[in-house]
């Protein structure tokens, strides 16, 4: 069967077009044709987009929890299915479930759960993000410093053992030997700097060893100062690395985000949520490391006052990028789909509405609220 999606403003190329239709078959895009092409009438299913904005499905590489589930507390396939379902209603069609610093046994279970979820074709699970425990106590945020350590060879093998999906590892380059970073990259992992107190020089050494990104830029990292560029300075200066940003109006001031966008080459800054279980759930509270954490007015903090992830969803991040940062919707969409797909090495399969790409879409209305999503061509109403 093939399906035609038409009568929408479709992000095909650099901007939205209202004169094209998208043809989907077997979970892939097989054609993007003029909307008046006579061949479209032969499609098995005709989907009227009602004039909405159709864009590539959002890809979130930092999802700690959703739908009431926290990956650290429930390292199994059911948790990943619950998290993905909670985020899908907000336009996320691909994610890296994120495990924050924990014991090796928990990490191994998380890797296995991710492998099993991908093998079971749980929609939207693309791999895993291990955020810590190889990070700096001075920039720990809500992470438990009692879990922090330097990985030995066996732990590196375990952390990079996922063989059917993406592995992203966030670490502090000053805490991990460059030889270990090189081995992680050689094993196929993507390595990002985060929760780091590194000097500019230490970050440069990490970049030379294979670090290719920065986790939630500005947050939990050494700042940019006039005589001490720190992690932020190194991130903004380097033209090749990628920076994830949390655009919720809380984690980073909009002016600082505009500075990052001005400093980095286009396409190197992308959106993440750092979401906790309340996204897609009616409960504002969850438990982490034995402590109950509650979102107050949409801001998630632990008892010590540290930001503890976010209550942000990707659709809101896109709206904030338009409203707080002044970017066009097309570029905000790319920051939520095209650019993160490239960062995790999946840019040839996801993040575009073009022939050969996965039929992963999100449909927004005039208020930029999610109306429907498709994963591998399968629709779900929001």
Q: Which residues are catalytic?
A: 274
Note whether 148 and 134 are within 8 A (CB).
yes
- Answer yes or no: are the C-beta atoms of 371 and 381 closer than 8 Å: yes
* 8 A C-beta contact, residue 276 and residue 309: yes
Phi, psi of 374 (to 5 degrees): -130, 135
| E strand or H helix that includes residue 96 | strand 92-100
Q: What angle do CA 244, 310, 372 make, to 5 degrees?
A: 80
- Strand 45-48 with 53-56, pairing: unpaired
- Say how far apart CA 103 and CA 155 lie, in whole Å: 11
The string of DSSP codes covering 292-308 is: EEEEETTEEE-TTS-B-
Q: Which tokens in the block code for residue 217?
A: 């830029």
C-alpha torsion sign, points 265, 261, 269, 330: negative
> Is residue 185 helix, strand or coil?
helix
What is the C-alpha separation between 208 and 47, in angstroms, rounded?
A: 49
- Cα-Cα-Cα-Cα dihedral of 342, 206, 100, 76, to 10°? 50
């Amino acid at each position: 069967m093939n399906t035609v999606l038409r009568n929408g403003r479709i992000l095909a190329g650099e901007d939205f077009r209202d004169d094209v239709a998208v043809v989907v078959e077997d979970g892939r895009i097989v054609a993007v044709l003029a909307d008046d092409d006579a061949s479209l009438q032969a499609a098995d299913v005709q989907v009227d987009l009602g004039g909405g904005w159709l864009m590539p499905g959002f890809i979130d590489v930092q999802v700690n929890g959703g739908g009431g589930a926290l990956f650290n507390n429930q390292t199994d396939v059911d948790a990943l299915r619950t998290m993905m379902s909670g985020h899908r209603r907000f336009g996320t069609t691909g994610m890296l479930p994120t495990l924050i610093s924990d014991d090796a046994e928990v990490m191994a279970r998380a890797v296995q759960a991710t492998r099993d979820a991908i093998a079971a074709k749980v929609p939207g699970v693309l791999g895993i993000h291990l955020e810590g425990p190889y990070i700096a106590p001075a920039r720990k945020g809500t992470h438990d410093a009692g879990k922090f350590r330097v990985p030995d060879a066996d732990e590196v093998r375990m952390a990079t053992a996922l063989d059917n999906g993406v592995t992203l590892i966030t670490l502090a380059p000053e805490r991990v030997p460059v030889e270990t970073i090189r081995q992680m990259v050689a094993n196929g992992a993507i390595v990002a700097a985060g929760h780091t107190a590194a000097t500019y020089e230490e970050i440069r050494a990490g970049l030379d060893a294979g670090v290719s990104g920065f986790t939630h830029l500005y947050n939990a990292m050494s700042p940019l100062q006039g005589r001490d560029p720190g992690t932020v300075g190194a991130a903004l200066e380097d033209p090749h690395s990628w920076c994830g940003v949390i655009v919720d109006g809380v984690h980073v001031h909009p002016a600082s985000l505009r500075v990052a966008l001005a400093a980095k080459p286009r396409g190197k800054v992308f959106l993440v949520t750092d979401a906790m279980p309340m996204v897609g759930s009616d409960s504002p509270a969850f438990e982490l490391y034995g402590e109950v954490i509650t979102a107050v007015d949409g801001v998630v903090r632990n008892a010590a006052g540290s930001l503890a992830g976010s209550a942000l969803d990707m659709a809101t991040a896109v709206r904030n990028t338009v409203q707080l940062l002044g970017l066009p919707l097309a570029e905000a969409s790319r920051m939520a789909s095209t650019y993160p797909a490239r960062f995790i090495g999946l840019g040839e399969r996801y993040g575009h509405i073009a022939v050969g790409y996965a039929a992963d879409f999100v449909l927004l209305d005039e208020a930029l609220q999610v109306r429907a999503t498709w994963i591998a061509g399968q629709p779900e109403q929001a």
